[in-house]
Structure 1
Amino acid sequence: MASRIAIVTGASTGIGFETAIALRAAGFIVYAGARRVDKMEPLKQHGITVLSLDVTSEESMVSAVRLVEAAHGRVHLLVNNAGYGSYGSLEEVPLDEGRRQFEVNVMGLARMTQLVIPGMRSAQSGRIINVASIGGKIYEPLGAWYHGTKFAVEGMSDSLRLELGPHGIDVVIIEPSGTDSEWGTIAGEGLLMASGGGPYREQAHIVAAALASTSGTGHVLSTPARIVASTIVRAAMAKRPRTRYPVGRGAWSVLAMRRILPDRAFDTVFWNFYRRLAG
């Protein structure tokens, strides 16, 4: 196991940070990548190699993968975790921001995957783990751009599983609920900047409060990032992994409710729940 090489993107905080540590503890040689290199300094204490990695930069992605392949020949495991949540009404969020949301959450994931596939295909083995979200199965008002990206990751991953399976490459989807990271707070702040003072302000304040409820230990929808990380490690080490792993507080119940309820009924139940979260 010590010879297995892993790249984790978006490793400066939260799920990516904890996943890098958990994979190293499980025996992987880990390369952790993110734009905020200073945030990853503590990872070095665990024997993890830190990379400057921007998933919107072709040069950065190519350089990172080439560095790892030059040192070890190939990548055994890619964890596509880099991403963020862009919220706001579709009317008010500039198209440039919508494009950036897709560039980070979808195109960066796709390009990193492209770069590691040849080595995996040549070896007839490898695993790609894409961190999606329960937001790839459900939806929120003022979350069109974000949910659009996560729905895209779900569909892309399912297609990849079929096309890469004959080449010995597994593709796995992780579907977390809210985690105790800065993600929800940052997403809520962005939402209020985009739509907090206009015609969608009432919805914006409710959704921002709901997003904040996923940030920080002890909040109603908050799951420790290390729990998601342990699920990623389980998926990485399974002989025959499941195709998708919902994880976190409320993940299974929310997804079950989405399957069972008609759209209009789900709209009502979910929106009422958000109102209660907002107080």
Structure 2
Amino acid sequence: MSDTTSAEVPESGSDSPVVLVTGAGSGIGAATALAFAEKGWTVYATDVETPLSEEIQARCRTRELDVTDDEQCRAVVADVLAETGRLDVLVNNAGYAVPGAIEEVPVDETKAEFDVLVHGPHRLIREVLPAMREQGSGTIVNVSSVLGLAAYQGLGSYAAGKAAMEALSDSLRLELRGTGVDVVLVEPPWVETPFADDARAELAGRERHESYAETYAALEDGWALDGGPLALSPERVADTIVAAATDRSPRARYPVGIVATFIRWTRWFPPALLDPIRRAFGWATTRIGRIDARLRRWR
């Protein structure tokens, strides 16, 4: 396992709280690592691809971590505990999406996606809980998505993974009652990250039946992947993660922003009402996206 700790990272005091962040190579994870560092935390920023950004290397302790690797998960947590003697917060953020119609997404790709979205957090939870339980405190922050509450066409596999994270978190929260360890879910909507570009790259070469034309149009031309103007900055989500991790009486869920709160409430709508709303959203944003693309080409 590669250890990319920067020698220039300032030493934190023995009373400095400790956080481990996964998926800190970019987007929400990078913003979260820096947000904790700004507040004086000892931050272990991890990602499957290293080295991380120069700013993160300068302000955090960085580690290579593939959350699908049992041994790496075990070794990184052991390393944190050996160096600091404690772990106050785990932020399970690593993730990616396999877009496409459910019929056309290979099962092996869905398995790999679930290994990151569900089994990865499970691996790390198993590793950190003994230490958190012994110290009588700790917070596990699972970064979910509004898609875990309201699935959208073309993103069924990703939505299923996030729904599984929601269920895992609810069970764990009940099981840990009385231990001093809290479990919270942060539920962002769309976020301005490389997520959408990476997901669109996954679409290249995907077999497509003509009956799914509307689904793929929403993914490629509409806001289904990037949210368009509804997307939030990674820093906005990071602020919510830090707030959830430091809340003395944390809530079970932290939807991020008005859009996330609204989408969360729509899950109570009957399908006869909700399905047309989702289809209309996809239709409208696809056409807006196409118009915007044409305007940019003319400029």
TMscore range, shorter length:
over 0.9
Q: Percent identity?
A: 36
Alpha-carbon deviation of 1:213?
Answer: 3.6
Given that 1:129 and 1:174 are in contact with CA atoms closer than 8 Å, whether structure 2 keeps it comes out as: yes
Identify the residue that residue 23 of structure 1 maps to in structure 2: 36
Alpha-carbon deviation of 1:79?
Answer: 0.3
Match of 1:123 among 135, 138, 157: 135
Distance change (3 Å), C-alpha of 1:87 and 1:265:
same
Alpha-carbon deviation of 1:57?
Answer: 0.9
* Structure 2 residue 272 is the aligned partner of structure 1 residue 264: yes
SS of 1:12's partner is coil
Alpha-carbon deviation of 1:143?
Answer: 1.8
Identify the residue that residue 50 of structure 2 maps to in structure 1: 37
Given that 1:20 and 1:30 are in contact with CA atoms closer than 8 Å, whether structure 2 keeps it comes out as: yes
Name the stretch that deviates more: 71-80 or 248-257: 248-257
Alpha-carbon deviation of 1:197?
Answer: 6.3
Q: How does 1:143-182 map to 2 (within 5 A)?
A: 143-182=155-194
In angstroms, what is the RMSD of aligned CA positions? Answer: 1.6
Counterpart amino acid of 1:93?
V
Alpha-carbon deviation of 1:135?
Answer: 0.8
SS of 1:129's partner is strand
For residues 133 and 95 of structure 2, what CA distance do their matches in structure 1 show?
A: 26
Match of 1:240 among 236, 240, 249: 249
Counterpart amino acid of 2:42?
I
Name the stretch that deviates more: 96-105 or 178-187: 178-187
Given that 2:196 and 2:225 are in contact with CA atoms closer than 8 Å, whether structure 1 keeps it comes out as: yes
Alpha-carbon deviation of 1:38?
Answer: 2.6
Where does structure 1 lack aligned partners over 5 or more consecutive residues? none
Aligned pair count reads 273
Larger radius of gyration: 2
Match of 1:273 among 263, 272, 281: 281
SS of 1:165's partner is coil
Given that 1:192 and 1:204 are in contact with CA atoms closer than 8 Å, whether structure 2 keeps it comes out as: no
Counterpart amino acid of 2:250?
P
Superposed CA offset, 1:138-168 (max 9, x none): 0111222111111100010011111112211
> Which 4+ residue blocks in structure 1 deviate beyond 3 angstroms?
195-199
Alpha-carbon deviation of 1:190?
Answer: 1.9
For residues 200 and 262 of structure 2, what CA distance do their matches in structure 1 show?
A: 23
Where does structure 2 lack aligned partners over 5 or more consecutive residues? 1-12, 288-299
SS of 2:104's partner is coil
Counterpart amino acid of 1:172?
V
Superposed CA offset, 1:171-214 (max 9, x none): 00000000010112222332354255654233212233323443
For residues 163 and 184 of structure 2, what CA distance do their matches in structure 1 show?
A: 15
SS of 2:97's partner is coil
Identify the residue that residue 200 of structure 2 maps to in structure 1: 188
Give TM-score, length-normalised by structure 1: 0.93
Superposed CA offset, 1:39-79 (max 9, x none): 4332022x201110000111211111111011011211000
Identify the residue that residue 49 of structure 1 maps to in structure 2: 61
